[in-house]
Amino acid sequence: MDPDADEQGYQVVTDSWLHIADGKVQQIGTSEYAPKVKPGTPCIDAEGKLVTPGLIDAHTHLVFAGCRANEFEQRLNGVPYTEIAKQGGGILASVTATRNATEAELTALAIPRAKALARDGVTSIEIKSGYGLTLNDELKMLRVAKALQQHVHLHITTTLLAAHALPPEFAHSAEEYIEHICDEIIPAAANENLVDAVDVFCEKIAFSPAQMEKVFRTAHAHGLMVKGHTEQLSNLGGSALAAELGATSVDHLEYLDEAGVQALATHGTVATLLPGAFFFLRETQQPPIDLLRQYQVPMAIASDFNPGTSPYASLTLMMNMACTQFRLTPREALQGVTCHAAKALGQTHTGYIAKGMQADLAVWQATSPAQLSYQVGTSPLAFRVIKGVQHHGE
């Protein structure tokens, strides 16, 4: 147990100040030793408030067109998610709508979603492609994702998820599509500097572990990080393989077994839990939380915001669901959207409040960190600080 931690394991410092310059935390101290501030120096007043690292949503599919409320209704009338996917609905329904949308239309649709996350204390988000599935449409999605930074105060990282579903043009051969991803799409996305990481949906209704491996090897050859959607609907061993291949995170994990957990621990891979998708799909198989704790695998929590399985643009709602659905403690939930989320993105400059870290903060009208996982719908956010700059709006 950390000697500085309180009884719930937090490291809450009271009566303190941060010196921020050049967008970074330069020094932290208690008020006794507060530095003399020259008159006119800009100050951010957080008196009486709780300051946490800015929240990080490490897994979203925020850029898409179309609405899948009809499938929600179908599922509630008894048609399973996998059946809807086989009938050409599911991910492919969003692909059709997204292909038909222009960059301007996709941007207009994405802005309010990103703003909703920002209003909830989020300062960084990851956005995946994966509803284009052609070279041009995947690049279009990534360009829209990157350009969102001009409309909302957020740091954005992007992930190429061309291996999300088999597009109709390649229905005859998944292998050919994987080759197309490796030979054309990854090199183009990397050359245009549109992407930080590459993701694969490794599942019976999507791509095999061997296909994931090919994509990951190509991603590495282009200097890109890798991560996976693994063990969401069945256990194919994708998480363990992804971890061996250096994935920063594997995500979903309801069907992860002990060998998989062990592999994550061995390779330092983050387990990203997506309680929104679990809840919305009315999944009953729980991710192996106790094993993840036992093997000390860092657990991130993300929204997985998407039109099919997690239409929830609130990271504090995900913290609440991580606690109520997966029995995480509020402290684990907070780590899941800060330091562990940063690690899931391969970042070392965000997720903590410490000397030298980027000054991204969420300032809350709250007295205890547990409040952030507790109440939903009345966000206690007071304001955010991004690279040292205070933002009251989005």
**According to CB under 6 A, which residues from 11 to 40 bind ligand NIG?**
none
Beta partners for residue 159, in sequence order: 128, 197
**Minimum distance of ligand NIG from residue 202's CB (angstroms):** 10
User: Tokens 């995480």 — which residue?
Assistant: 328
Does residue 358 touch ligand NIG according to CB under 6 A?
A: no
**Minimum CB separation from ligand NIG for residue 20, in Å?**
35
Among 162, 240, 277, 385, binds ligand NIG (CB under 6 A): 277
Q: How far is the CB of 232 from ligand NIG (least distance, A)?
A: 5
Residues that bind Fe ion (CB under 5 A): 304
The rounded distance, in Å, linking the Cα atoms of 330 and 228 is: 26
**Measured from the CB of residue 246, what is the shortest distance to Fe ion in angstroms?**
20
Q: Give the range of 45-53, 117-125, 190-198, 299-307 binding ligand NIG by CB under 6 A.
A: 299-307
Question: Which residues in 52-69 are b (16+ Cβ under 10 Å) and which e?
Answer: bbbbbbbbbbbbbbbebe
Task: Quote the least distance from Cβ 256 to ligand NIG, whole Å.
Answer: 14
Query: Which three-class secondary structure state does DSSP give residue 273?
Result: strand
- x/- mask, ligand NIG, residues 193-222, rule CB under 6 A, reads --------x---------------------
The alpha carbon of 324 is separated from its chain's Cα centroid by a whole number of angstroms, namely 20
Residue 211 binding target from Fe ion, ligand NIG, none, CB below 5 to 8 Å by type: none
Chain residues 300-319 in contact with ligand NIG, contact rule CB under 6 A: 304, 306-309
What number of chain residues touch ligand NIG (CB under 6 A)?
Answer: 12
- For residue 334, give the nearest of 4, 11, 2, 3 by alpha carbon: 11
DSSP 312-380: ---HHHHHHHHHHHH---HHHHHHHTTHHHHHHTT-SSSSS-STTSB--EEEES-SSTTHHHH--SS--
x-or-dash string of contact with ligand NIG, 222-261, rule CB under 6 A: -------x--x-----------------------------
Instruction: Decide which of ligand NIG, Fe ion, none touches 143; Cβ closer than 5 to 8 Å per partner kind.
Output: none
- Which of 107/306 has CB closer to ligand NIG? 306
- Nearest distance in Å: CB 85, ligand NIG: 8
Return the structure tokens found at 308.
């099919």
77: amino acid identity, one letter: N
Q: How far is the CB of 94 from ligand NIG (least distance, A)?
A: 5
CA atoms of 58 and 126, how far apart (whole Å):
5
Rounded (5°) CA angle 242-124-132: 60
Q: Indicate the burial class of 394 (C-beta count within 10 angstroms; 0-12, 13-18, 19 or more).
A: middle
Among 386, 314, 310, CA closest to 128: 310
Q: Which residue is nearest to ligand NIG (CB)?
A: 308
The 84-123 contact track toward ligand NIG, x by CB under 6 A, reads: ------xx--x-----------------------------
Residue 387 C-beta: closest distance to ligand NIG, Å: 29
Count helices and strands (H / E) in the chain: 16, 14
Contact positions toward ligand NIG, by CB under 6 A? 90-91, 94, 201, 229, 232, 277, 304, 306-309
